[in-house]
Amino acid sequence: MSASDENLLVQVASYNTNLQGNNGLPQDLVDWLSPTLKVSSFLSQEKRPADIIAVGFQELLPLHFGFCGLSRQVIESRDELIRSQLEQHAPNKERYTLVSKVVYVGIALLLYARDEEIASRVRDVQTQWTGCGPCWMGNKGAVGIRFRLVDDSKESGETFTFVNAHLTAFEGKLSHRVADYEHIVSTLLFPPTNSEKTWTSLYSSSHLFFVGDLNFRLALPSTHPFSGKSGRPALIESLRSDPEREKLKEFDELFVERRKGNVFVGLREGEFWQFKCTYKYLLKEVDKYKETRIPAWTDRVMFSTYSDSPDSPEESQIKPIIYTSIPSYVTSDHKPVVALLSVPTKVFSKPTSEQTAIPVLRLPDSFSLPSDPNWFVKRIVGSTAGYFVGYVWTLLWYIGLGNAAIGVVNFLVGAAAWRWWTGSGGIVLGDGEV
């Protein structure tokens, strides 16, 4: 960043890799993670890299391995690949520091800062996670990273919070997704810093970015010409048209519920209808949906900054430069998404006596979602239940030679054979029984 009054460039990416572990990511990430190469002319005459880069994954690896805690091994290899690709394709060969990474079951978030001017200003890095699956397990849930970016005079600066989430799937589960959001807000709590006295929610931020496979669907009314299985081919064809996609956005559950103030209060989003629905694609296909499912914009990037007014919920001082999907990735039934955002900040402006407190987001007066007093107990219950399920599942997976269902059958057959062998059905030899 050459000028003190420039906005930060924040790049946020999200990808549901369909439980494929290290096989779920192509070796060349330039299409997804280096969009500044394509839009540098919009920014300035000089090629400018992103200052902060957040990369989120969902369904990082098979679920039973994730419950067992093996996701940490996968995320280490992802970190090496991502950082090498970022630095290889950075416009001016910039280098990046890993600020932090956090993973819970199959939900992961990695955060990078550009070495020059940015990484050295990062303070108070914190990570958190929460589960909202059955018994609060982490098959669904969220992870978060928060840090403080300080100014030259080492004043309070501004806080940045990044959250990556995976919410309840399937059509007709809107109320579950709303409940997941409420659970995440009330349980994804960050510990107090020197300037705070209590644990705080994700909204206690100067800048907030919320991404992930949020699983909101297209809810077409029965009277709509594209509704039902008979209308599916026409719906899929209509997604090729910009005007048709803009019409369809009115039936996007997230768009509708956010506008009502029921979910993701205070957050804004770019024009997601500018790209095709990111789900559900046939594997190994660039542009072919599975016709048994309704296509949907399940993968999203939302944001807010402290200068946004609660009286203008559709307007933001954060300006999306790019918001798009990457169709060329074919190892998952999702397409990855990426947003490049111009974020206003006073961190690099001349400090004044008024810059002593950390600014925070302004929310509607009607919004109230208190912290869950039992959040820590729920975390312990969820992680313990997850380990138990994971190890049992993994054991059955090994018994079934890679198929847990066959493992169950093998286990039952073995248990029955053992019972027969040790019971009256054993083999009798002479006066004894074997």
Tell me the pLDDT band of 375, cut-offs 50, 70 and 90. Answer: very high
Helix 375-399 and helix 404-422: axis angle, to 10°? 70
Residues 305 and 312: their CA atoms lie apart, in Å, by 13
Residues 425 and 403: their CA atoms lie apart, in Å, by 30
pLDDT per position as a tens digit, 273-297: 999 999 999 999 999 999 999 999 9
Residues 218 and 248: their CA atoms lie apart, in Å, by 8
Q: DSSP readout, 57-110?
A: EES-S-HHHHHTTTHHHHHHHHHHHHHHHHHHH-TT---EEEEEEEEETTEEEE
Residues 320 and 43: their CA atoms lie apart, in Å, by 12
What does pTM read for this prediction?
0.91
| DSSP-assigned beta bridge partners for residue 213 | 166, 299
pLDDT per position as a tens digit, 195-254: 677 899 999 999 999 999 999 999 999 999 999 999 999 999 999 999 999 999 999 999
pLDDT per position as a tens digit, 386-411: 999 999 988 887 787 677 677 566 66
